[in-house]
Amino acid sequence: MAEHNDLGKKGEELARKDLIEKGFEILHHNWRYGNDEIDIIAEKDNMLIIIEVKTRKSNLFAEPEESVTKTKQKFLVRAANAYVQQKNIENEVRFDIVTVLVSGSQFKINHIEDAFYPVL
């Protein structure tokens, strides 16, 4: 597996652990709808939370959350809509981004709640 894939998996694992410590219930990870994927689907305080995880070794050129483009947001919203319909969810939905900066065995996690709002 490519090094960036390993880094991404490590970042998602660290993000899940951090979310669990903060009281989130992880419902799914790497949930797919066609070609779209949601990194983490969680629940907290009766809210469904769709989470995109971005892991980087450096933020020298840009912050990791900047890579969640409008196009990526559109794919996340499409997958979230499919999930809500399939599971018959009535909870409010929120879109978060978790960034993970990894340097050796050190890491820094930043959880951005309400990172973007779906455009209908």
User: At residue 62, what is the residue type?
Assistant: A
pLDDT for 120:
57
pLDDT for 105:
85
pLDDT for 94:
97
Contact present, 93 and 115 (Cβ < 8 Å):
no
If DSSP codes are grouped into helix, strand and coil, which group holds residue 109? strand
Strand partners, 92: 47
Please name the residue that has the structure tokens 């919203």: 77
pLDDT for 48:
98
DSSP H/E element including 10 = helix 3-21
DSSP H/E element including 77 = helix 70-87
CATH class of 3-112: alpha beta
Top pLDDT among 64 and 108 is at 108
* Count of H-run helices and E-run strands, the chain: 2, 5
Dist. CA 117–CA 94, nearest whole Å = 8
* pLDDT bracket for residue 6 (50, 70, 90): confident
Mean pLDDT of the chain: 92
Does the pLDDT at position 2 exceed 90?
no
pLDDT tens for 16-75 read: 999 999 999 999 999 999 999 999 999 999 999 999 999 988 776 778 888 899 999 999
Dist. CA 87–CA 107, nearest whole Å = 34
